[in-house]
Structures are given as structure tokens and as C-alpha cells.
Structure 1
């Protein structure tokens, strides 16, 4: 297996709400969007896609129960080139309707981070890492 992730799919409660959050609020470009398809893809840099799909349908596709709540043990990270960029992206997400979880600030490991949750509670970290350039 190649050490690569090419698609991340988030199970969402309301597809239209999540589309508005990611496309209109955060400015992610959709990829071949078909309003009748029941799934939305967003083009990310580095030949990668983010998808949103109704939670029940994603669970059924995986053959598991859609029930579950609380921390699911994963976060998505968006790395930026500066502390100021962390502040700006965090503010943009909050303005788009994200729930602030951890205000921007210095991290114990030397970087600068913030956390927010999307409308379905998926955790996003916005980070500046002075040691590894992931921008």
C-alpha cells in the first residue's frame, strides 16, 4: 500500500448545511457537483478530495451502525504558513458557522494552533508548524 490518503469522507447529518459550510463559508471548490448525486466532493490541493455524504448512507456503505456520538478519535488538520494565518482561518471558520473549541495559541511543541468543529462536530485543527512545512 502506498503511504497516501486521496479521499476523506465525512458523514454528515444535513448535506445542504454542510455544503453551505464548506463551499460558501470556507470557500472550498466543489468537484463535478451534481445536486442530485447525494454526495459532494471538494477539490483539495495535492490531488486530494474531501467528500461529505449523509452519515446514515456512509455507515450503510461501510456495513456499520450510524449511531455514535462524542469524540471519534480523529481530527483533520489544515496547516498554514504563519501564526497570523492560523488566526485568519480560525476566524473564517467561526464566521462560516463553526463551533470554536480551542482559541488560537502557542502549542507545547513549539507551534501555534486552534481547533474548531464543523456543523456535524468533525474536529479541525488549524496549525502553524515551525519545524515541518505542510503548507
Structure 2
């Protein structure tokens, strides 16, 4: 049951700063995490990720050209280790998911992969050594996870 959670919802956006300002105005808190391609905004129990549309396509390994299906949203589950990412990825494929990008070391220093559920919704599984999870697997980029008893 611990893996049955969403840590991040990633929206593909055309203008990263405009999108970030919009969500900050709605009460999300912009965090120090992120870079020129992605902004992370902390909510109550999850994180909203804004990813430049072209950069997200590159990360997933899909093209924006032609009629290739391209989702504008990705859901993410952050895991406590690379092995946990691999385990849940295999479990998703065994349950009928479709492999999009097998888990591998990521350019940002972590480990991630993508699969699509049977209806084509995109999911990322990630181990991010820079993001700590609480004991219950929640991602909180504003507080030190040890405050919630994270390992």
C-alpha cells in the first residue's frame, strides 16, 4: 500500500515562469529545487512540477513532431531507492502497463523511468537522492524530512 501514492504531478508548459507565477498566486509555494527546465511547487501533501514542454518530451524520450502521442501531464511516484524503482516498474509492466523509458540513471543525478498505464496515462518512477521522503512516502521539499521521521 505504501507505493499507492502520487508524489508529483508534472504539467508540460510552454512558459515556465508564467506557469510558476500562476500557481504561486493560487497558493503553491515555489521551492529552491529545480533548474532552467523544471520548477517544483510544494502543496499540502504533494508537489506540482512544471516542466518545459520540449524538455519533458526529451526526458521521456518522445517526439513532439508528427502524430506521435504526447501527454501534457505525467504523474510521479518517488521511491526510496533505485531497486524500489525497478521493482515497481516491473510490477507495473506485469500488471499491463506499457514500457516507455526503462529506469536508468538520469541527467539530474537520480534514477528514473516512465511507463504508461493501460489507458496511456504517463507515470514516472524516480529515485531522487536530493529529495527526502517522509516515513509514509510523502514528498515535502520545504521541511527537513527528518521532522516527519523519515529515514
TM-score (norm 1): 0.50
